[in-house]
Structure 1
Amino acid sequence: MKKSKANFYPVILAGGRGTRFWPLSRKRMAKQLLPLNSDKSMIQETVERLSALAEKKNFWVVTNDDLLVPIAKQLRALPIKQLIAEPVGRNTAPAIGLAAFILERLDPSAVLGLFPSDHVTSKPEAFKKDIAKAVQIAAAGENIVVLGIKPTRPETGYGYIEVGEQYERGVMRVRRFTEKPNAEKAAEFVESGHYFWNSGVFVWGAKTLANALREHLRETAPFLEKIAASYGTKEFAKTFAKLYPKCENISVDYAVLEPRSAKGEKSSNIFCIPADWGWNDLGSWAALFEHRAAEQQLSEHENVLTSKGAFTHDAGGNFVHSPRKFIAVVGVKDLVVVETDDALLITTRQKSQDVGKVVKFLDEKKLKNLV
């Protein structure tokens, strides 16, 4: 593979509300701003592990108006002009697409990476190595690189990547993407050994992505180009507010990756690097329980507790967060209990994916102080 010089720009998507982490995650202090994995917030950890690969001046963050100020306070080292607040949410394709169109104009050699702001990894050196490899592949042509995670269970909440022949050592060609299969299909995928979870981490040249959007999102791409053309001028905020809501609400997976992979394995120019970073997207309280239990070398039958002190008896598999109180857990199993100053969540680990429904209810009832 021909090596090409490229400037790498991490683009961190940080506009989500993290509703499944209610009541800790709120509209103005969402999941990515919380210290769920360490004493640093999720987005601070994301920037930290990428700092070995890119200068701070190359970082971009796409978020929303509610989170712009708190993110700016947490990421003081990043250029404030590169923290962009969407006027409305339009999913990942317009968000990363806008960054691509801006960077295409600012730096023709730009290679950008899409990184969710709320994932964790326990093997930073492996992460660094894989992203560096992805940047190299993306810079060598009109290539798209996705980082895949070896599945450990038939998970129905993730997208899957089917891989084909080896492109080079440690890199596979992508055959197709499948979004969130049913349980039967997910079990087939895991059994086959040819599928990886879609980590949501992608690397590509800014021009490559911009051209892909011009091809596959023909109505949205012109709006993004006009917004990008106004970046750095007095008209940017006005143009952004006027045109961005007209963009299609669609993920980059559906907009670009699935149509590209449908061209056939050898002509799609999509590649997968199987990653082993100790990755977790921490998508629910149950996922956080599993992550912390693994870190503390606990079994799923033990308790994960955050408190000033605790007593347990005949209790197991519980996640309890009440950091300012002594807690007693007696005779219950597999519960999730999370306390804040103004709310209390009680559910089971099995049903923790449904916590977002609480936020939907609160929105409908206009209980703004609780969201």
Structure 2
Amino acid sequence: MNEKKLIPVIMAGGSGSRLWPLSRTHYPKQFISLVNDDSMLQNTITRLDSLSKSEPIIICNNEHRFMVAEQLRNIGVNNASIILEPVGRNTAPAIALAAFKAISDGNDPLLLVLAADHVITKESAFIESVNKAKDAANDGMLVTFGIVPSHPETGYGYIKQGKHLGNSLFQVEAFVEKPDLETAESYFSSKLYSWNSGMFLFKASTYLSELKKYNPEIYDICKLAIASTYSDLDFIRISKDIFDKCPDDSIDYAVMEKTDKAIIVPMDAGWSDVGSWSALWGIHNKDEAGNACRGDVLLDSTTNSYIYAQNKLVTTVGVSDLVIVETKDAILVAHKDKVQNVKNIVNRLKDMGRNEYQHHLDIYRPWGKHEQIAEGDRYHVKKITVRPGEKTATQIHYHRAEHWIVVSGTAKVLNGDETYLVSENQSTYIPIGSPHSFENPGRVDLELVEVRTGNYLSEDDIVRIGTDGEGY
């Protein structure tokens, strides 16, 4: 049998709140560096280097598209297919979009479906499990990877192993929901149950065939949606009018619980879905007192705590079992046993109409990013970074003027009818009502400070002219 090409399919559409204040609606955990210098999305892709040379298919939502593209570029992935879901419809439709895309060139590759926000600490074991599953997937089976449990866990669904098929392959006997503690303990002691990881391997055609059999509505709508795609910069967009009609269903409910082709491969690879701050503490290296720290942290008489300092020195004295997370605009202090209640804080921020639940002070754009520094009644200060060769949209403001001071690099500025260069330590003034934009003609990042002044400074005071870039 000729082994088929393997294409990674990365599900990157989550926007969870359990790791607030690092994870936010517009900057969720898959884009954050939690365990090393790379983000979880980047780690998910780079651990596949020995398994596949194919560029991945990434499924994400519109709000996160620029972060996905930038993080892929930073690790040298330049030709990925980035499919933008106009609305979230769960995993069954998302995987169907990827499968239809994968067969669009006439091939029928294996799809390795992974979440972008999981941690794997034993990469060799992960690779070994995937390799064991390839033959079954090539033979037309739907393989799911079950995590060998390390303890009774009530926060995960489980998969029960059926008949042993050899080479660490088992028939799937049943998918079961999250159990109570007594049931979880019985699952753990039986050694017949694995945690449901949400990772899969199968031929694109096999998945689509089984989806068509058991959920033809999802199949038909996703087929129509992929036929309607169009390119937008680095992205593949699909019709919202079409995809909006798609049922919201997981792959487990739509296919895996119904098919007779489901196979499980147990995996013992140091897996975690990092579903809480206490889970992140659990997978980190710790000092002799049980503390896991990142950033500028100084401890005294502190035990069994997780401390994350993003921008400032964080010190602790005489505390235990705490989670302390510092960001530019928020600080979380929680007992390690109560971190599941972080979502209550996020909900209260949302109800209060505060921005801290949605985004950080750093806002990413296709041309770079900007960061709020300070604001008052009649002023607003930002630091702006523009990548080489990129530019902003031409725009007009009717309630504010802007002062731009170049900190490093060179800006090519359009200001009314004039175009001119502004170099390091120089500045320029943009009066109210003047069409303006700036671009980076150089080979290094352009950094400038923008000072807005006026009686109305909100982001909606903007009129874009043409389509030559995107505003900020």
Query: TM-score, with normalisation over the residues of structure 2?
Result: 0.71
Counterpart of 1:43 in 2: which secondary structure? helix
Residue 60 (structure 2) aligns with: 63
Q: 1:359 aligns with which of 346, 361, 377?
A: 346
Residue 269 (structure 2) aligns with: 277
What is the deviation of 1:330?
2.7
What is the deviation of 1:232?
5.4
Residue 47 (structure 1) aligns with: 45
Counterpart of 1:20 in 2: which secondary structure? coil
Q: 1:149 aligns with which of 138, 147, 150?
A: 147
- Amino acid corresponding to residue 9 of structure 1 in structure 2: I
Residue 88 (structure 2) aligns with: 89
Unmatched segments (≥5 aa) in structure 2: 359-472
CA distance in 2, matches of 1:327, 1:157: 31
Residue 249 (structure 2) aligns with: 250
Residue 317 (structure 2) aligns with: 330
Q: 1:321 aligns with which of 305, 308, 313?
A: 308
Residue 7 (structure 2) aligns with: 9
- Amino acid corresponding to residue 344 of structure 2 in structure 1: K
CA distance in 1, matches of 2:107, 2:237: 26
* 1:316-340 C-alpha deviation (Å, 9 max, x unpaired): 2111212443333233221111111
Residue 78 (structure 1) aligns with: 77
Residue 36 (structure 1) aligns with: 34
Comparing 40-49 with 176-185, which one deviates more in the overlay? Answer: 176-185
Residue 293 (structure 2) aligns with: 305
User: Is it true that 1:291 corresponds to 2:283 in the alignment?
Assistant: yes
* 1:253-275 C-alpha deviation (Å, 9 max, x unpaired): 12111122xxxxxxx12111111
User: What aligned pairs does 1:159-174 form with structure 2 within 5 A after superposition?
Assistant: 159-174=157-172
Comparing 119-128 with 361-370, which one deviates more in the overlay? Answer: 361-370
> Is residue 108–residue 206 contact of structure 1 (8 Å, CA) maintained in 2?
no
> Is residue 311–residue 327 contact of structure 2 (8 Å, CA) maintained in 1?
no
CA distance in 2, matches of 1:144, 1:92: 15
CA distance in 2, matches of 1:167, 1:118: 31
Counterpart of 2:239 in 1: which secondary structure? helix
What is the deviation of 1:245?
1.5
What is the deviation of 1:218?
2.4
- Amino acid corresponding to residue 349 of structure 1 in structure 2: K
RMSD (Å), alpha carbons = 2.1
What is the deviation of 1:237?
7.0
> Is residue 84–residue 236 contact of structure 2 (8 Å, CA) maintained in 1?
no
CA distance in 2, matches of 1:280, 1:238: 31
What is the deviation of 1:196?
0.7
CA distance in 1, matches of 2:16, 2:166: 37
User: Is it true that 1:135 corresponds to 2:122 in the alignment?
Assistant: no
> Is residue 81–residue 236 contact of structure 2 (8 Å, CA) maintained in 1?
no
- Amino acid corresponding to residue 291 of structure 1 in structure 2: I
User: Is it true that 1:204 corresponds to 2:191 in the alignment?
Assistant: no
CA distance in 2, matches of 1:107, 1:179: 38
Q: 1:189 aligns with which of 184, 187, 190?
A: 187
Q: 1:229 aligns with which of 227, 230, 236?
A: 227
Residue 265 (structure 1) aligns with: none
> Is residue 161–residue 197 contact of structure 1 (8 Å, CA) maintained in 2?
yes
Relative to 1, partners in 2 of residues 1:332 and 1:8: Cα closer, same or farther, differing over 3 Å?
same
- Amino acid corresponding to residue 63 of structure 2 in structure 1: D
> Is residue 103–residue 110 contact of structure 1 (8 Å, CA) maintained in 2?
yes
Relative to 1, partners in 2 of residues 1:63 and 1:145: Cα closer, same or farther, differing over 3 Å?
same
Relative to 1, partners in 2 of residues 1:308 and 1:288: Cα closer, same or farther, differing over 3 Å?
same
CA distance in 2, matches of 1:239, 1:75: 21
Report the identity percentage.
36
- Amino acid corresponding to residue 163 of structure 2 in structure 1: E
Relative to 1, partners in 2 of residues 1:239 and 1:278: Cα closer, same or farther, differing over 3 Å?
closer
- Amino acid corresponding to residue 50 of structure 1 in structure 2: L
Relative to 1, partners in 2 of residues 1:366 and 1:217: Cα closer, same or farther, differing over 3 Å?
farther
- Amino acid corresponding to residue 46 of structure 2 in structure 1: E
Relative to 1, partners in 2 of residues 1:97 and 1:55: Cα closer, same or farther, differing over 3 Å?
same
What is the deviation of 1:80?
5.3
Paired positions, count: 354
Relative to 1, partners in 2 of residues 1:357 and 1:252: Cα closer, same or farther, differing over 3 Å?
farther
* 1:243-302 C-alpha deviation (Å, 9 max, x unpaired): 111111121112111122xxxxxxx1211111121212211111100011xx34x57x62
> Is residue 4–residue 136 contact of structure 1 (8 Å, CA) maintained in 2?
no
CA distance in 1, matches of 2:294, 2:236: 43
User: Is it true that 1:346 corresponds to 2:333 in the alignment?
Assistant: yes
> Is residue 20–residue 283 contact of structure 1 (8 Å, CA) maintained in 2?
yes
> Is residue 330–residue 356 contact of structure 2 (8 Å, CA) maintained in 1?
no
CA distance in 2, matches of 1:26, 1:163: 37
CA distance in 1, matches of 2:144, 2:179: 19
CA distance in 2, matches of 1:365, 1:136: 53
